[in-house]
Structure 1
Amino acid sequence: MFQLNTSKWLHATVLLFVFVAVNGSEWIIERVKLLEINQNYLKNTSLNLVSYSRRKRVINFYTESFVTFDNNVTVSNEYEEFMNNEYRPAFVGLRFKLCDFIEAPYVMIKQKFGIQCPIPPCSLSVSPHRGQKTFPKSETFLNGANASFLENQYLEWSKSKGSIDSSWDGLYESVNSSKLQIDEFQDDFSPKSNAKSKSSKVTDADSKHKIMLHLAVQNLIRSYQARGHLLAKTDPLGLTFAARWLLKAQSAPVDLKGVNCKLVARELGTILGDEHMDMTFELPHRTFIGGKEESLTLREIICRLEKVYCQSIGVEYMHLYDPDSLQFIRERMEVPGCLEKTVEEKRLIMRRLTKAVFLEKYFATKWPAEKRFGLEGGESMIVMLEEIVDSSTRLGVESIVMAMQHRGRLNMLVNVCRKQLTDIFAQFKPMEPKEPGSGDIKYHLGTYIHRFIRKTNRYIKVSMSCNPSHLEVVSPVVVGKTRAEQFFKGDNNGDKVMAIIMHGDAAFAGQGVVYETMHLGELPAFTTHGAIHIVCNNQIGYTTDPRFARSSPYCCDVAKCVNAPVLHVNGDDPEAVAHVARLAIEYRCHFKKDVVLDLTCYRRFGHSEEDEPMFTQPFMYKKIRSMKTIDQIYGERLKAEGVVNDADIKGWEKEYMDTLNKHFELAKKVTKLSIMDWIDTPWTGFFEARDPKKIEDTGISEATISTISKHFCKPPEPWAFEVHKGINRILLNREKMVKDGIADWAMGETLAYGSLLRDKIHIRFTGEDVERGTMAHRHHVYHHQGVDGATHRVLDTLYPDQAAYSLHNSSLSEFGILGFETGYSYSSPALLTIWEAQYGDFADTAQPVFDTFICNGESKWVCQSGLVVQLPHGIDGAGPEHSSARVERYLQQADDDEDLIPDLDEKDMALKQLRAANWIVCNVTSPANYFHLIRRQIALPFRKPVILMTPKVGLKHPFYRSPFKDFLPGTSFQRAIGDTGPASKNPKEVKKLIFCSGKVAITIDDLLKEKKLQNKIAVCRIEQLYPFPYDLVLKEFCKYDCAKVFYCQEEHKNQGPWLFVKVRLENLFGKKIGCISRPASSASATGIKWIHAKELTDLKNKIIEL
């Protein structure tokens, strides 16, 4: 609330703006300028000054141009500078100086009314309440907070003049002596009595009281809008109230039965009595409770506000910045009759509830001991989703991508996604699967369907994404899938494709990835133009009471951080549930922003069907066990209204039970489970069009190399775009490389991306610094040095008909962003999705995405992904963090039996290895090999994720160079690169064979050249660690059969690839091999330079030791 603090002249200013609102602004001074703020006085002075525009001309402080008087007098640009530089508090407060604006009119008021008080000291401030970005246009200067203050001051003054500052004496004495002719503006501010007054003139004291009463009523309306949700009856159990967090019990006015006296008393104090209840008050234009009526009695105002804001729906929306959003929600909540449903709608809701309730009962009857996480107690979720689906087709949505928790998932699959009951029932049987893979439990499975909606006569695609038990991991995945589908549909505004994400109350409040997902909503490269978030709020987290699970009043308060409205609804009122569902989809489609639905319900049983909830929630479950089911509650309500009868309900129940029994019998005939039946995103036609035994050529022509490399060296026209001088130096170096026919790391990756864009392959590449590259090597986006925000995107203009290159820096988030890109990669095989960590260990915070989606998504759900994860990796003295990407973790998750060596004579062994792998782990050491690896992702007849260790330092080292001939047709990715130096010419002289992977190859190469040991020590670089290149490493071993064999790594011995490689090499060679590495350590690297130097020296000595 706004606060009006006492000052010696403030009351005169109040009168000034009342006077202005009535008499217009003709007499306002013709010039208004801003002077320096009197900082000392500002500390003690604060005034709300916003527009009052009911029927008179206004002083409008909402507009960016500050204020306009009669459309011909404006404030100078000093205001904008003042706003931008002087005052930008945390909650975007609005503060400005009004010295000359106040002073002249103040003198006029003083002369007209004879008020004796000092000239203002030129110091005012204006501040909206916390969280408000600007003043809404509908706000009034005569705010209830000010009214309460003025009234209380007057009451205190009436009791004892010495009880308040003496500066108020002039005002209140003037009021009492009738010196102030308030009747001049009585039309705007005075309440109208139903009984006609005998006199057109009233005493000033009466007018003053009526003004204060009117203002209090205005504030009451706003209070219901802002805080009515605190007293709404949204809890079907009646056990909790959000109001207990914020409202204190106060004495209520007399004769206000049936209303929330706490709220009324809090806002109106003691001035409201029975005699005011039948007074008529003009309604402000920020409410729609009057419908076509402009005024209502106080009794009717309170009655209507109670019905709107304090029943089954609690609306949190006054924190929104956009005034249009506020009016949009008010109109759909406050217009009389808007909450009513037609007879047809009520009957449809009843039928949907019958299906939801009886499906859960059927599960419980047929499989009483089976864990399924039923929806009992929250069946109105089906009504909510069905209403959203129906309404979305009316609004033009063609596809909905959904994610949800395990609670009620089977019910959702059947009644919303229309999954065949036969397939659902078959999941309860122990059967052998048709396809290879681990599969997943039934309440993790997804599906998709093209549904026909009879109400709108349209089709809509509804997909439910597969998800793990790790709550909320699926949320960013679904947002990424939605964004990708929007891209491929050309849906740039989110009109056709929409995401719906369902959450549990404990997870929504407790999991950080919820915020990581929601904060993407307004980022241009990640927005899906609004998602609907539904919280299945059963008021408990496993066994944890909400009082011990969150610090906020509501489980969904995090949504306010992204300026999303929150609609709380009682799950036992299906009509209210349907209403907020329709409001949510209309809001999302109109404003293209997130909206949150808090479905407050309960769990009729424990966390699962096997759980006993009375152990930990005895009071709650005593209440629950006395509750009727939702179909009984709503059925009785409709029968009382005459909408349905017993015959209708019994008929619907029998009809659905017959359907359930029919599919139960059909499920008995199913003998094998099919994982393929649960694909949530099919790639129609992709696999059929590919030769499963062939990898397409990854080389490119000389002409393509020339086109891309020259374009990469060409700066934008200097007259049109000013690049940094350092960029010009980089471009000159690149130009020299092109002339020499050499590619460095940046050129190698650019050739890969550019050639794929030419082939119409869409590339999406994101990460925290990918536009420039963390190591400042890429520079695919130039920034104008003279124009803020102007950029030149190098590869966007490579070919006139190329595919889109979506290269974007991301927010500082790994969990949310990696989940997003994982979902994006699931959408289509005709794209390359890349996520690059700023440093390799940044992926640590996204580990759930690796563990539950990337690593095993195909095995569990037949969901293939071609995602490339690039992790800068290397032990180079940077300290324990930002050194190791923990390659050992990804190798440990490889689904490969170390004791099984494949048939090395098989022609397609390498391809079969790739097909069987769950992902590919590489650490490449040449630009050409990187190029072929990236292009192989598209050339494969299937899709696999790639975990790629990339270099952090040495990107300019001669070792990281490849001649253009290594990119030509006929060349390909090398899983291992054998020694091509002096050792390979005379293998019998070689004393030592070293296998290695990654940057340590540079250390070995430089050292052997320095010590002239190139003919004594042979080196083989293993570029693809998994699937392991058995055939190539065996070839090198046989070539140097007299040499001692070692594996060398720069990582510590208990880290890196050593433990993965060791057992495979020893099984393959039939002999022990040695290890050259840093000693075992709990940290990935040292942060002490001396230790780093010593470790490096020791490592080098072991390398050259013969």
Structure 2
Amino acid sequence: MNTYSLDYIDDLYAQYVKEPNSVSETWRRYFEQFLVSTDAALELGPVDTSGEANGEHAAGAASGNGRPPTAAGPPVTVGDPNQLRHVAHVQDRVDQLVREYRVRGHLIAQLDPLGIARPACPELNPEVYGVTDSDLTRPYTASNVPDAATRTIGDVLKRLRNTYCRSIGAQFMHIDNRNIRDWLQRRMEMTENRLELAHEVQRRIYTRLADASIFEEFVRRKFVGAKTFSLEGAESLIPMLDLALEKACQHKVREVVLAMAHRGRLNVLANIMKKRAMNIFWSFDDPNPELNRGRGDVRYHLGYSSDWRTASGETLHISLCFNPSHLEFVNTVALGRCRSKQDRSRDTKRQEVMTILIHGDAAFAGEGIVQETLNLSQLEGYKTGGTLHVVLNNQVGFTTEPEQGRSTTYATDIAKMLQIPIFHVNGEDPEAVAQVVSLAMDFRKEFRRDVVVDLYAYRRWGHNEGDEPRFTQPRQYAEIDRRQSVRDNYLKRLLKLGQMTTEEAQDIQTVRTEKLESEFEASHTEEFVPDVQTLGGTWAEYVGGPEPDSGWTETGVDGEILSKLLDSLTRTPEGFAAHKKLKRPMKFRREMAEGKRPLDWASAEAAAFASLLHEGHPLRLSGQDCQRGTFSHRHAVLHDMKSGETYTPLAHLPDTDAPLELINSPLSEAGVLGFEYGYSLDCPEGLIIWEAQFGDFWNVAQVIVDQFIASAEDKWKRLSGLVMLLPHGFEGQGPEHCSARVERFLAMAAEDNIQVCQPSTPAQFFHLLRRQVKRRWRKPLVCLTPKSLLRHPLVTSPLEALTSGGFVKILPDLDIEPHDAVRILLCTGKVYYDLLEKRQHLGLKNVAIVRLEQLYPLSVEEIMAALEGYPSGCELIWIQEEPMNMGAWPYLKMKYVDALTERFQLSAVTRAESASPSTGSHSAHKLEQEDLLTAAFEDLE
């Protein structure tokens, strides 16, 4: 039996690792089978290696690396199967342990600055795997551990503990893509997740920590009892953002859209956005109440824009989004803004603009809009090239403990759905924070995906400065009361390392305090006027405020151009196999283009889209199934029945290259509507549309409408031209498929903040869409669109109606002479056609039907002018399909009843007051509709 020294086998194995084919087949087979180099006795089996024992064939010996059996070191006898089984067993169990560190190391990482929660994880105990202390000195073949191929088991485990169990916990093994896992593994394990920071970087981190804490201390001292939502306990956010912006600039990012809730916002405004402290201090004093009577917002909801100067002297533009108290709902608004900025500069690689979203831990886990936000990240219509998510983890939500507020281990577990890394980091270890943000930003650049950093911290003063957190978190706050700030703790480290002196730290404190004192004094002088950022740049040509007096815009399109555009929409590439049911409507549309057939609703919409694109205006339409249209009317994207390939006629218009996006959205209302609203904030020249599958469904996005669309101009002076298309109409399809809840929009309507329209003809819809873009006045448009009327034979318009004129707010009855009328039926939308058919059936010539096409803004003078020719004392009846407590009637009665009752006998015909919009019975619906029409013409038959 041959014997080999340990050194001989080690050297031979090292040669094998370097070049497998350089050793003999016998040894190669052995190493391939067991992949071990050990000081235990090894069995090679019944293989003749006598020549190799003398170095005759062994590559190690041939190259001078082999040693004879008499070389130093204990001899190894080949032939002991028990020893080999033990070695193989240890190797296998250590392989499992290595994986466990990567999968579960974060569970025992020292993440909590307060040190309260220290969970156990027995899977990370070597003894569980039968690895003894004596095994730790054994060499371990670790080809999957960077720079550890010939280390001992103890060395490898130490490396893994340092990487995954110190101040950083990493979750990445849930990612299916092995290339991504390997990239993260190498980046973390090669450095043991600890950057060697240059002296200048350490000083920069300390300075940013000082900026953050000194600002908070100053504000608390000067404005005793004021609500600030202090950042204290999480000051590491400021150096984290500082380093993220520096890294972004290195990655050639030129603009960052930043969004966050209220905690720490004032600090971010002062120390990241560089908003002058005097302006912030002035808002605390609030010395001019008349300036904000009925408008404005609290200081910790405000946004700001500024330029960031990097250490290398480059400039990065930052936009901090305005945000209501609805926390996470700003997320998709910010993403929409980012996408819009990218599209404006034709940044198709999504590299030049990025988003940073700062979340709260309780909100990130608790609010469903977070899932909607994450789900958009890899969808083609919503990609932005990867978002940096920072969870500002206070470890409590108001007074709610984590175990009461979520069913997951971490607040960030929802992010696992994205196949992205989640880094947890102790906020009291600023250098670990620096490592994490550097790694996160590099990951985003490398893979164009989102990345999450969970910054573990705490709130020093509770939910707000007037709150007493010890009522509900006594143990946590007992620990907080004993703690120094992260700035002071980091200074101790720098002093110990000799990287800073006490005098230098005091100088930083003095300079910043004096600067804040100077700003405070300036804000209290009589001549001080706060800076107010106004709309400029891309918004310079547009206005908000009251609707222009005329409210009229010419929106007709030259007939020859219109015909050419419409015809092009009926053409497909040669050999394209469109669905056979589309041949007839395509033929009809060609006839419409030639003026031989009046336009239906879908063709008028297509004409509006095509003409705006032809004139250079971007068009973006998104919504559930909007490419085809919920009711199969649009067919803007055609599918080849054989190949499945798609063709978009609007993308192939003659002499047109304006940006076009037609996007089937995920099954999301709040997230997608927020995204499109955000997109509209940076694309005033475009037609930006969100279409609900049914108008009823927008109520899932009520927060976006209430807090952004309806109130942003009043609160934040932000304008938007977003269009909401909401299919509306009582068709007997049940209470969730009938009403777009116009009453809710009208209840929010004030100060000309929105437009609420219900066009009843294709031409009116055409002119309404074009008016939204062609006039300078920018307001969100709520447009109630039809369902059954999409194919109603009476709902058509001649081509000539699109070539001149514009949208008309009130459509008169041209079939009835006003002086002959004994009754006026005032209505809006679909019910007009039901009333018209009923009147024709009854053969009446003394009942006028007047349509309100724009419900808001609409002045009393405009209504009275439309009714000018009708006899005083005539019956004026408002007709609506909705119940009496819904629809437009409650608003119209409140707004116009006094003026109308002076000249007319005013009343209303509606469905009965109801808690639900409609019946679920089709038969009952028909009965109710007939009762409605009968009441409208009662006593006139």
> TM-score under structure 2 normalisation?
0.90
Aligned to 2:835: 1004
Among 226, 230, 238, which residue is 2:115 paired with? 238
Structure 1 CA distance for aligned equivalents of residues 832 and 85 of structure 2: 88
Aligned to 1:587: 443
Query: AA paired with 1:263?
Result: L
Structure 2 CA distance for aligned equivalents of residues 227 and 1017 of structure 1: 77
Determine if the alignment matches structure 1 residue 880 to structure 2 residue 880. no
Summarize the alignment of residues 152-167 of structure 1 with structure 2, pairs less than 5 Å apart: none
Summarize the alignment of residues 141-152 of structure 1 with structure 2, pairs less than 5 Å apart: none
Aligned to 2:128: 269
Aligned to 2:538: 683
Structure 1 CA distance for aligned equivalents of residues 284 and 48 of structure 2: 78
Structure 1 residues 767, 181: CA separation in 2 closer, same or farther (over 3 Å shift)?
farther
Q: CA deviation at 1:332?
A: 2.3
Q: CA deviation at 1:214?
A: 2.1
Secondary structure at the counterpart of residue 468 of structure 1: coil
Aligned to 1:300: 155
Among 758, 764, 771, which residue is 1:936 paired with? 771
Among 1034, 1040, 1043, which residue is 2:870 paired with? 1040
Structure 2 CA distance for aligned equivalents of residues 418 and 1007 of structure 1: 66
Query: AA paired with 1:763?
Result: L
For the 8 Å contact 2:45–2:79, the answer to whether it is kept is: no
Summarize the alignment of residues 575-614 of structure 1 with structure 2, pairs less than 5 Å apart: 575-614=431-470
Q: Deviations over 1:562-601 (max 9, x none)?
A: 1110000000000001110111111001100010000000
Among 890, 908, 911, which residue is 1:1075 paired with? 908
Structure 2 CA distance for aligned equivalents of residues 227 and 894 of structure 1: 53
Q: CA deviation at 1:748?
A: 1.1
Determine if the alignment matches structure 1 residue 287 to structure 2 residue 121. no
Among 883, 896, 899, which residue is 1:1065 paired with? 896
Aligned to 1:72: none
Among 816, 835, 856, which residue is 2:690 paired with? 835
Aligned to 2:403: 547
Aligned to 2:809: 975
Is the deviation greater in 588-597 or in 769-778?
769-778
Determine if the alignment matches structure 1 residue 403 to structure 2 residue 280. no
Query: AA paired with 2:894?
Result: V
Structure 2 CA distance for aligned equivalents of residues 831 and 730 of structure 1: 28
Aligned to 2:187: 332
Q: Deviations over 1:364-408 (max 9, x none)?
A: 000121101000100001011111000110111111101001100
Q: CA deviation at 1:299?
A: 2.3
Query: AA paired with 1:867?
Result: L
Structure 2 CA distance for aligned equivalents of residues 608 and 1069 of structure 1: 51
Aligned to 2:854: 1024
Q: Deviations over 1:203-228 (max 9, x none)?
A: 22212211221222233222211111
Q: Deviations over 1:964-992 (max 9, x none)?
A: 222223x01100001100x22xx333111
Aligned to 1:729: 584
Structure 1 CA distance for aligned equivalents of residues 354 and 360 of structure 2: 20
Aligned to 1:796: 651
Structure 2 CA distance for aligned equivalents of residues 786 and 867 of structure 1: 37
For the 8 Å contact 1:1078–1:1099, the answer to whether it is kept is: yes
Summarize the alignment of residues 516-535 of structure 1 with structure 2, pairs less than 5 Å apart: 516-535=372-391
Query: AA paired with 2:107?
Result: L
Summarize the alignment of residues 691-840 of structure 1 with structure 2, pairs less than 5 Å apart: 696-712=553-569, 714-719=570-575, 721-738=576-593, 739-740=595-596, 742-788=598-644, 790-840=645-695
For the 8 Å contact 1:236–1:572, the answer to whether it is kept is: yes
Structure 1 CA distance for aligned equivalents of residues 534 and 460 of structure 2: 29
Secondary structure at the counterpart of residue 743 of structure 1: coil
Query: AA paired with 2:758?
Result: N
Aligned to 1:959: 794
Q: CA deviation at 1:509?
A: 0.3
Structure 1 CA distance for aligned equivalents of residues 434 and 454 of structure 2: 13
Aligned to 1:864: 719
Structure 1 residues 270, 863: CA separation in 2 closer, same or farther (over 3 Å shift)?
closer
For the 8 Å contact 2:727–2:786, the answer to whether it is kept is: yes
Structure 2 CA distance for aligned equivalents of residues 631 and 678 of structure 1: 36
For the 8 Å contact 1:499–1:532, the answer to whether it is kept is: yes
Structure 2 CA distance for aligned equivalents of residues 613 and 390 of structure 1: 36
Among 295, 302, 327, which residue is 1:445 paired with? 302
Aligned to 2:6: none
Secondary structure at the counterpart of residue 596 of structure 1: strand
For the 8 Å contact 2:733–2:922, the answer to whether it is kept is: no
Q: CA deviation at 1:181?
A: 6.5
Among 328, 332, 342, which residue is 1:472 paired with? 328
Q: CA deviation at 1:757?
A: 0.6
Question: How big is the alpha-carbon RMSD for the aligned residues of Structure 1 and Structure 2?
Answer: 2.9
Summarize the alignment of residues 64-143 of structure 1 with structure 2, pairs less than 5 Å apart: none
Structure 1 CA distance for aligned equivalents of residues 834 and 543 of structure 2: 46
Q: CA deviation at 1:437?
A: 6.2
Is the deviation greater in 632-641 or in 1059-1068?
1059-1068
Structure 2 CA distance for aligned equivalents of residues 724 and 548 of structure 1: 54
Structure 2 CA distance for aligned equivalents of residues 182 and 836 of structure 1: 78
Is the deviation greater in 326-335 or in 343-352?
326-335
Q: CA deviation at 1:634?
A: 0.5
Q: Deviations over 1:15-64 (max 9, x none)?
A: xxxxxxx99xxxxxxxxxxxxxxxxxxxxxxxxxxxx999769xxxxxxx
Gaps of 5+ in 1: 1-21, 24-51, 58-111, 114-139, 145-174, 249-261, 896-915
For the 8 Å contact 2:374–2:418, the answer to whether it is kept is: yes
Q: CA deviation at 1:734?
A: 1.8
Query: AA paired with 2:554?
Result: D
Q: Percent identity?
A: 34
Query: AA paired with 1:699?
Result: G
Structure 1 CA distance for aligned equivalents of residues 35 and 936 of structure 2: 80
Summarize the alignment of residues 346-425 of structure 1 with structure 2, pairs less than 5 Å apart: 346-425=202-281
Structure 1 CA distance for aligned equivalents of residues 293 and 492 of structure 2: 50
Structure 1 residues 672, 513: CA separation in 2 closer, same or farther (over 3 Å shift)?
farther
For the 8 Å contact 2:555–2:770, the answer to whether it is kept is: yes
Structure 1 residues 210, 643: CA separation in 2 closer, same or farther (over 3 Å shift)?
same
Q: Deviations over 1:667-686 (max 9, x none)?
A: 1136787684276x853532
Query: AA paired with 1:939?
Result: K
Structure 2 CA distance for aligned equivalents of residues 270 and 742 of structure 1: 80
Q: Deviations over 1:930-989 (max 9, x none)?
A: 1111111112223100111111112122331112222223x01100001100x22xx333
Structure 2 CA distance for aligned equivalents of residues 558 and 1018 of structure 1: 58
Q: CA deviation at 1:1073?
A: 1.1
Structure 1 residues 672, 771: CA separation in 2 closer, same or farther (over 3 Å shift)?
farther
Determine if the alignment matches structure 1 residue 216 to structure 2 residue 93. yes
Query: AA paired with 2:176?
Result: Y
Determine if the alignment matches structure 1 residue 561 to structure 2 residue 417. yes
Secondary structure at the counterpart of residue 858 of structure 2: coil
For the 8 Å contact 2:420–2:451, the answer to whether it is kept is: yes
Structure 1 CA distance for aligned equivalents of residues 34 and 297 of structure 2: 62
Q: CA deviation at 1:700?
A: 1.1
Q: CA deviation at 1:176?
A: 12
Q: Which structure would you say has the larger RCO, counting Cα contacts within 8 Å and 6 or more residues apart?
A: 2
Determine if the alignment matches structure 1 residue 894 to structure 2 residue 749. yes
Structure 1 CA distance for aligned equivalents of residues 291 and 265 of structure 2: 24
Structure 1 residues 436, 195: CA separation in 2 closer, same or farther (over 3 Å shift)?
farther
Secondary structure at the counterpart of residue 440 of structure 1: coil
Q: CA deviation at 1:1035?
A: 2.5
Gaps of 5+ in 2: 1-11, 22-28, 60-66
Among 913, 930, 935, which residue is 1:1097 paired with? 930
Aligned to 2:4: none
Secondary structure at the counterpart of residue 296 of structure 2: coil
Structure 1 CA distance for aligned equivalents of residues 395 and 116 of structure 2: 10
Q: CA deviation at 1:195?
A: 7.9
Aligned to 1:461: 317
For the 8 Å contact 1:183–1:201, the answer to whether it is kept is: no
